[in-house]
Amino acid sequence: MTQAALSGKNYVVTGANSGIGLFSARRFAELGANVALVCRNEQRGHEALAEIIATTGNENISLYLADFSSLASVSEMADKLLRDISKIDVLCNNAGGANGSRQVTDEGFETTFVSNHLSSFLLTKKLLPAVLNAASGDLARIVFTSSYGHFNSALNFDDLGLAQGYSTLKAYGRSKLMNLLTARELQYRLRGKNVVVSSFHPGAVRTPIWNKGGMLARLLGLVLYPFMKSIGQGSDTFVWLASSEDQASKEADGHYFYESKRAETAKFATAEDAKRLWQISEELIAPYCLLDAGS
- Contact between 254 and 187 under an 8 Å Cβ cutoff? The reply is yes
Rounding to the nearest 10 degrees, give the CA dihedral for residues 212, 215, 219, 220: -60
- Write out the residues near ligand NAP by the rule CB under 6 A: 15, 17-21, 39-41, 44, 67-69, 94-97, 115, 145, 147, 201-202, 204-205, 207-209, 212
The DSSP bridge partners found for residue 39 are 65
The DSSP bridge partners found for residue 198 are 143
- Contact between 144 and 180 under an 8 Å Cβ cutoff? The reply is yes
What is the closest distance, in whole angstroms, from the C-beta atom of residue 40 to ligand NAP in the complex? 3
At residue 232, what are phi and psi to the nearest 5 degrees?
-65, -45
Closer to ligand NAP by CB, 125 or 150: give it: 150
What is the closest distance, in whole angstroms, from the C-beta atom of residue 214 to ligand NAP in the complex? 13
Distances (CA, A) of 31 to 194, 242, 246, 249: 22, 12, 16, 17
Closer to ligand NAP by CB, 205 or 269: give it: 205
Closer to ligand NAP by CB, 15 or 161: give it: 15
Which single residue brings its beta carbon nearest to ligand NAP?
A: 19
What is the closest distance, in whole angstroms, from the C-beta atom of residue 271 to ligand NAP in the complex? 23
Strand ranges in the chain using DSSP code E only, listed in sequence order: 10-14, 34-39, 61-65, 90-93, 140-145, 195-201, 256-258, 261-262
- What is the spatial distance between Cα 33 and Cα 170, in angstroms, rounded to a whole number? 36
Closer to ligand NAP by CB, 87 or 147: give it: 147
What is the closest distance, in whole angstroms, from the C-beta atom of residue 192 to ligand NAP in the complex? 29
Q: Is 57 helix (H, G, I), strand (E, B) or coil?
A: coil
Closer to ligand NAP by CB, 87 or 150: give it: 150
Q: Which of 11, 148, 166, 172 is catalytic?
A: 172
What is the closest distance, in whole angstroms, from the C-beta atom of residue 102 to ligand NAP in the complex? 15
- 256 counts as catalytic: no
Closest CA to 90 of 131, 121, 127, 125: 131
Q: List active site positions.
A: 172
